Amino acid sequence: MATLCRPTIAVPEHTITLQDTLDLAREVHQDHPQLELALRLIRNTGVEKRHLLRPIEETLKHPGFAERNAVYEVEAKARVPAVVRQALEDAELRPKDIDVIIYVSCTGFMMPSLTAWLINSMGFRTDCRQIPIAQLGCAAGGAAINRAHDFCTAYPEANALIVACEFCSLCYQPTDLTVGNLLSNGLFGDGLAAAVVRGRGGTGVELERNGAYIVPNTEDWIAYDIKATGFHFKLDKRVPGTMEPLAPALKQLAGSHGWDAAGLDFYIIHAGGPRILDDLSKFLGVPPEAFRFSRATLTEYGNIASAVVLDALCRMFDEGGAEESARGLLAGFGPGITAEITLGRWRTAGLDPLAVPVLTSVTEGA
């Protein structure tokens, strides 16, 4: 089975703290009639610090969509190779061992995709497949894992490379003054990630099943208005409540695999905001501590879009991974409203799973 190996994460060098964000909001939007509401919502995000591509003085300016997109391309080419090289090293593979590159991003646009540049610049084979995904937003991290799983299921000896590149600060729009956008200005951060899915071998999450679900008639709840000034983020106030209809989809997928979604050993969840995690804890029936990796990402980096699930997984690796055969769930949420869900077990390279007893949760078989 395919194994999702240790991800590599990188964040830009410029930072902004929660207090900086609140002070800026008071300065820039001092006459906004709903400023106090926006400030309260920003405080409640739990985001203590975010990383930005540019110093805050430059981030607040809008030189035009063309210039911003040019910055996106230059910075992606400057920063992505390092995370790719480290992800390959951690998976004990070389560029020529990769059969497909899945590139996800919703904060800039390139055609051809950055995948073509990576193939030409980093020694990947010229017959390496390309799967760029640009319109799934934060859910794309989960989608990339699932498409890599699908590819390695179809081609069992193949290896897939996942790359997520999100420069959310390049989408700041100073003229968008709704409370939702003011909240977003204090929630999203910049980050990059890469991870390898090995068709054979590797230490990490051995992928067993994946699925997707879309909440009916919610396609305009998270969206972009595309204007001359670029991508204008739209966020409906009903979005934080979407875990109630999404939790049953997670339960159903786990149930179809013979697992109880409330009794798994680890959870790697997209941290769109604290209520997402709080509600999912409630509706799945798992303790809040189960989402500690996702909460840490939110606190230290903010919402880094498609890179969140990879960062949360990296934090689990940093903690020492999981017990052999431990069962887990990964999920990314985004526009649609879409959920991309993965089930898998922890595997250690070179360890015979038949020699290790399978862990059974307390709730299973009760």
Catalytic amino acids? 138
Q: At what angle do helices 274-284 and 292-301 cross, to 10 degrees?
A: 170
Q: Which residues pair with 195 in a beta bridge?
A: 162
Q: Which residues pair with 2 in a beta bridge?
A: none
Here the tokens at position 324 are: 């052999």
Rounded CA separation 18/24 (Å): 10
CA distances to 7, 122, 144, 173, 186 from 34, rounded to whole Å, are 40, 49, 38, 18, 15
Q: Which residues pair with 131 in a beta bridge?
A: 102
Residue of 359, 277, 360 whose CA lies nearest to 323: 359
Residue of 303, 300, 286, 203 whose CA lies nearest to 247: 286
Q: At what angle do helices 35-43 and 18-28 cross, to 10 degrees?
A: 170
Q: Could you tell me if 173 and 228 are in contact, meaning their C-beta atoms sit under 8 angstroms apart?
A: no
Q: What is the CA radius of gyration of the chain?
A: 20
What letters, b where the CB count within 10 A reaches 16 and e where it falls short, cover 177-196? Answer: eebbbbbbbbbbbbbbbbbb
Quick one: how many helices (H) and strands (E) in the chain?
11, 14
Query: Cα 263 to chain center, whole Å?
Result: 23
In this structure, the number of other CB atoms found within 10 A of the CB of residue 64 comes to 11
What does 63-88 look like in DSSP terms, one character per residue?
A: --HHHHHHHHHHHHHHHHHHHHHHHH
For residue 50, what is the enclosing H or E element? Answer: strand 49-52
